Amino acid sequence: MPLVSRALSIRISGKERKQKVRKLLLDLAHFKNLLILLIRKYKETYGEYPLNVSLLNGLVAKEYKGKYQKEFNELVNNIKANSELSEFWKNLKSQKEKIENANLVQSVIRSVVKDFNNYFKALKAYKKNPENFKGKPKPPKPKKLRYLMDSSVEGNRNIFKVQENSFLVKLRNGRWLKVKLPKDFNYEITSFRLKLVADDLYVDVVYKYPLEVKEPKGDFKAGIDIGLDELLAVVSDNPNLKSFIVSGKELKAFNQWFNKEKAKLQSQIDNLKNELKKRGEELSQEQIKTIQKEIRELEIRLKVLSAHRKRKLDNDLHKIARKLVDLLYETGHKTIYIGKNALESKNEINLGKKLNQEFVSLPFRKLINLIKYKAQELGMEVVEVDEAYTSKTSPFADIFKVRKSKNAKLCLGERKRNLFRDFISGKLFHADLVGALNILRVGATIAPNP
């Protein structure tokens, strides 16, 4: 039975406990900022990025004991030769002592090196295919620490332990954070993450999960069309399973509410910033500080609102994916075909201001990924299908000929809003179910009936 990594997210409660974790994450974020500034200044001064993890760890250690002694001495001498670099180094070592957790400091160093390496990869890909990017990738830069709202750090086995049904994380010397694990949680824990999201704090417990991949109960296939009002339209070749639609109206309404609330807060922030810009010279320092404080408070509310939206959508999409996959498994399905144009149309197509808000903000990719991994555990395959012409073509027409010729006259049907008028049978169908059926036909390469 293969072991796969899973993460259990546990929300931290209690004002005092949250303050301790938040303060630690703030100190680690400050250390990260100093390290990024040192690396960028070194590149500016000497023309190269110092990204050897061993050497960077040595900079904040009492004594370097690694195998790159010559390189380390050169790095130190170069830093000492520049007053600004020397100041960053001094502050870096001071901040490391303040944190009192060498393991988490090492984790931050590794994450910074990883961020720079990812930047190099993105830059290489940009030079090769710039059309795939919205702009030229930029190297990592420091984050503003005031009202820090998004931060995380990973810890290993050296600074956590499990006692009965509790998970304990070492924060600083002699101080531990204790959170409860679910009952009968007997999995092997390999690492953890401390995570700040808006005003919420979490411990993500990473563990090994024995994945029992089941065998499908049959060979049936299903086609799924993704949309807005009709989140999922599902058609199956199992004659005992009727076609059905999972409504997306509740998610759409929630998203509309979120967009309105976000717009209100953003408008207030913009108005205050404009006031500072236009009347800055007329205002006293006390008035400026008051306005800046109001802006920060509104920005916090905006982050809190976004975090609430993420929790809500994550929860709902998990439930939808689970119920869908379980139903298809129990009714003997082996393959699921999902239209992918709902994802790709986000990039370039302008759907209008209102529809853009509704459509672009819903995480369709996350939904598909949830369906994929839940289906995989049950031995089912999920295939993404280009849904070109699927919602415009009669289920009795040759969709392969339509897609090849791109001739709309061969569709032999007409879509108006949610209705599809079929010219071959003379009947009306739900347009999204027609789309799902044609996705199934294309994915499974099912030719039209003679």
DSSP 347-408: HH----HHHHHHHHTS-HHHHHHHHHHHHHHTT-EEEEE--TTTTTS-TTS-HHHHHHHT-G
**Cα separation, 240 vs 81, whole angstroms:** 78
Position 421 scores a pLDDT of: 86
Position 30 scores a pLDDT of: 96
Q: Which region among 295-299, 374-378, 446-450 has the lowest average model confidence (pLDDT)?
A: 446-450
The answer to whether 321 and 369 have CB atoms below 8 angstroms apart is no
Tell me: pLDDT of 448 over 60: no
Tell me: pLDDT of 345 over 50: no
The mean pLDDT value of the chain amounts to 89
Compute the average pLDDT of residues 101-122: 96
Across-strand partners of 170?
176
**Cα separation, 5 vs 193, whole angstroms:** 14
Same domain, yes or no: 81 and 186: no
Same domain, yes or no: 186 and 48: no
Tell me: pLDDT of 337 over 80: yes
Position 406 scores a pLDDT of: 82
Tokens 């280009």 — which residue?
386
**Cα separation, 326 vs 74, whole angstroms:** 60
Tell me: pLDDT of 165 over 80: yes
Same domain, yes or no: 431 and 367: no
Tell me: pLDDT of 201 over 50: yes
Q: Is 142 inside a domain boundary?
A: no
Position 349 scores a pLDDT of: 43
Helix (H) or strand (E) holding 18: helix 15-46
Banded model confidence at residue 81, pLDDT cuts 50, 70, 90: very high
Q: Is 378 inside a domain boundary?
A: yes
Q: Is 141 inside a domain boundary?
A: no
Same domain, yes or no: 99 and 26: yes
Q: Is 89 inside a domain boundary?
A: yes
Compute the average pLDDT of residues 381-387: 91
Tokens 């509740």 — which residue?
250
Same domain, yes or no: 127 and 22: yes
Q: 168 vs 444, which has greater pLDDT?
A: 168
Banded model confidence at residue 316, pLDDT cuts 50, 70, 90: very high
Residues in the chain, overall count: 450
Q: Is 77 inside a domain boundary?
A: yes
Tell me: pLDDT of 237 over 50: yes
Banded model confidence at residue 44, pLDDT cuts 50, 70, 90: very high
Count of CA atoms in the C-beta half-sphere (13 A) of 278: 6
Where would I find the H helices in 224-284? Answer: 249-279
Compute the average pLDDT of residues 116-135: 92
**SS3 (DSSP) at 281:** coil
Tell me: pLDDT of 360 over 50: no
Same domain, yes or no: 350 and 392: no
Same domain, yes or no: 248 and 371: yes
CA end-to-end span of the chain: 46
CA distances from 428 to 232, 233, 243, 390, 433 (A): 20, 16, 15, 16, 11
Same domain, yes or no: 367 and 420: no
Percentage of residues in the chain with pLDDT exceeding 70?
A: 94
Domain end among 132, 158, 174:
132
Q: Which two tokens stand for residue 442?
A: 């294309």
Position 86 scores a pLDDT of: 96
Range of the domain at 392: 386-450
Tell me: pLDDT of 358 over 70: no
**Cα separation, 121 vs 132, whole angstroms:** 14
Domain end among 184, 210, 236:
210
Banded model confidence at residue 346, pLDDT cuts 50, 70, 90: very low
Same domain, yes or no: 188 and 254: no
Compute the average pLDDT of residues 152-164: 93
Same domain, yes or no: 231 and 348: yes
Same domain, yes or no: 35 and 175: no
**Cα separation, 333 vs 196, whole angstroms:** 40
Q: Is 194 inside a domain boundary?
A: yes
The answer to whether 38 and 85 have CB atoms below 8 angstroms apart is yes
Q: Which residues contact 41 (CB under 8 A, 6 or more apart)?
A: 82, 84, 85, 88
Q: Is 352 inside a domain boundary?
A: yes
Same domain, yes or no: 230 and 318: yes
Q: Is 447 inside a domain boundary?
A: yes
Q: How many domains does the chain have?
A: 4
Position 352 scores a pLDDT of: 53
- Strand 220-226 and strand 200-210: the pairing is unpaired
Position 101 scores a pLDDT of: 94
Compute the average pLDDT of residues 227-240: 92
Domain end among 382, 402, 419:
382
